[in-house]
Structure 1
Amino acid sequence: MRRTHRFLVAAALGLLLTGCSTRIDGTPAPVTAASSGNDRDLVKQYFKDLNESGDEGTSMQRDFLRRTQHPDYTDRLCDLGDLVLHIDPAMSTFREDPGWVPPESHSAEPPRGTIYVLGVSVSVRQQGALLGEQIGSQRVVVLEGKAYGFSPCPTG
């Protein structure tokens, strides 16, 4: 049991957010541009919905992550098991990152849509207990008026 708990904590603390780093690359997204302003709202809503799905439990969050996985990467879903994520975005770091390609991508081309990167604080919980927190960056892509993410994968 103790070994399993250590593994889960290591997996949670090693949670890999696609493109995670402490430096926020990209170009600041202008707030005054109509498309970027609307995209900013879509990205804010994406994180709000992600957190609300986690509040409803693991199966609801799993469904949310499946539905919002970027359409070009639906074969890259990860199962978080009984882990639940809560992600707080730092919207002041919201930037375009047009040349970004997901790690281990089969293509050298960026995903379709407008790619944004922003700083985030991630809390990982299991059955209500906090296992760990991580600060990094996360990409969200707006494609045809909808925000898409990339399912995070625990590492261990």
Structure 2
Amino acid sequence: MRALPGVLLVLLAVAGCANAIQGTPVPAAAAAPNRELVDRYFTDLNEAGKEGYSAQRDFLRRTQHPDFTADCDLGGLTLRIEPALSTLRADPKWKPEKSTKHPRGDVYVVGVSVRIRRDSATLAEQIGSQRVVVLDGKTYGFTPCPTR
């Protein structure tokens, strides 16, 4: 019976800790309101890659941010990009390399796993970050330009 008061004190202390957390939880969708558009972009990119190099090249050209129209060619390679959407966050200060201006729209950064393929062979896999922009309800990317 002597243990009972000790257990009650521990329960009261634990109950008090639960009230120490302040603030309001924010659902992931509210933290990144364009999450579904970003997810659809990567799904469509990967579907185009399944159709082959030409289909993915066309997709990347159609979805290149209109302010940054570098015409990069992946040289017959296709990409499979898996975003970790739990890492999706706004990145309003980012601007493309060698650019003095920020892209129009809502800029996001997301952690990704990238598989680089030629035909059915995987040549490389990388983990990194990728930026996308939602502008006027459409998601745009920045086609990677391989260094020569």
TM-score bracket relative to the smaller structure: 0.7 to 0.9
One-letter amino acid of the structure 1 residue matched with residue 110 of structure 2: L
Return the offset for 1:153. Answer: 1.3
1:96 and 1:79 map into 2 onto residues whose CA distance is 28
Q: 2:63 aligns with which of 41, 62, 68?
A: 68
Question: Aligned residues, how many?
Answer: 123
Query: Which structure 2 segments of 5+ residues have no match?
Result: 1-25
Q: 1:33 aligns with which of 27, 30, 46?
A: 30
Return the offset for 1:114. Answer: 0.3
Note closer, same or farther for the CA distance 1:116–1:129 as it changes in structure 2 (3 Å cut).
same
Q: Match for residue 92 of structure 2?
A: 98
Q: Match for residue 22 of structure 2?
A: none
1:54 is the counterpart of 2:49:
yes
1:42 is the counterpart of 2:37:
yes
Q: Match for residue 17 of structure 1?
A: none
- RMSD over equivalenced CA pairs, Å: 1.6
Give TM-score, length-normalised by structure 2: 0.79
Return the offset for 1:104. Answer: 1.3
- Larger CA Rg, structure 1 vs 2: 2
Identity of aligned residues (%): 63
1:145 is the counterpart of 2:140:
no
Give TM-score, length-normalised by structure 1: 0.75
1:140 and 1:116 map into 2 onto residues whose CA distance is 5
Query: Which structure 1 segments of 5+ residues have no match?
Result: 1-28
Note closer, same or farther for the CA distance 1:32–1:130 as it changes in structure 2 (3 Å cut).
closer
Q: Match for residue 80 of structure 2?
A: 86
Return the offset for 1:69. Answer: 0.1
